[in-house]
Amino acid sequence: MSAERPGVVSVRAGMFGVDGPGDTSGYGRLRHTVRQPEGSPRPYGGWFDEVTDQLANELAEHGVPLTDAVPRAVVDRGELTFVVRRERLLQVVMALRDVPALRFELCCSVSGVHYPQDEGAELHATYHFLSITHNRRLRLEVSCPDGDPRIPSIVPVYPTADWHERETYDFFGVVFDGHPGLTRIQMPDDWDGHPQRKDYPLGGIPVEYPDASVPPPDERRSYR
């Protein structure tokens, strides 16, 4: 299930998606359906249609149909999200920055999400942009497969994305092609794996405290 093809990704059990007796949260019977949302129909309302049309016009001038770059747009809870193909990401963000009617001057954050069951799009990168000129906020979402975890870096367009992309690489393993110095930012350079992926071991890594120790999850007391 690709992020460009909406639908049910998985059904999560418990509070944290833990299977078996390892869930000590007391919410083990919870079931939550994880899905990629359907695209929203036009008109979106408010300024969302204006932004979409301006982006479509700019891409069309370079011979790129909007649906080729943005296969899906989602309006939810008063927010607009463009699902962008990774091959078109740089064209989209350059338009967001440079077109006067758009003028999203600031990339506020880049973060990662891991959907192990989202076949062909297991890793997602989410971008938040702010237009100071027009007082608007916009989200982009880009996906890539586990077997090819590469997304173009937007640092040449938005230098503020530098450390955010490094953190997403550090914790999720997304490789941002073209980043000027893609190294870990919080974990040690020789750390094995990416600790915010859902297939990363949950705890069990020895941590030294004065006169104390943290046992692995299967040896901790269960309160259920």
Q: List the CATH number of the domain containing 81.
A: 3.30.460.80
How many structural domains compose the chain? 1
Is there a domain that residue 168 lies in?
no
Q: What values do phi and psi take at 180, rounded to 5? A: -70, -20
* Non-local CB neighbours of 126 within 8 Å, separated by 6+ positions: 109, 110, 111, 112, 113, 139, 140, 141
pLDDT at 200: 86
Render pLDDT for 57-84 as a digit per residue (tens, 0 to 9): 999 999 999 999 999 999 999 999 999 9
Q: Which residue range forms the structural domain that includes residue 108? A: 7-12+31-145
In a domain, 137, yes or no: yes
| Nearest-angstrom CA–CA distance, 215 and 196 | 20
Write down the mean pLDDT value for the chain. Answer: 87
pLDDT score of 30: 79
Question: 56 lies in a domain?
Answer: yes
CA 61 to chain centre: 28
Distances (CA, A) of 33 to 14, 18, 37, 85: 11, 14, 11, 25
Say if 221 falls within a structural domain.
no
* Predicted TM-score of the model (pTM): 0.82
pLDDT tens-digit readout, 24-51:
666 777 777 777 778 899 999 999 999 9
In a domain, 222, yes or no: no
Domain annotation covers residue 202: no
In a domain, 131, yes or no: yes
Query: Distance (Å, rounded) from C-alpha 183 to C-alpha 188?
Result: 10
Region 123-139 average pLDDT: 97
Q: What is the rounded distance in angstroms from the CA atom of residue 166 to the CA atom of residue 185?
A: 6
Q: Report whether pLDDT(21) > 60.
A: no
Looking at 7-16, 47-56, 164-173, which range is the least confident one? 7-16
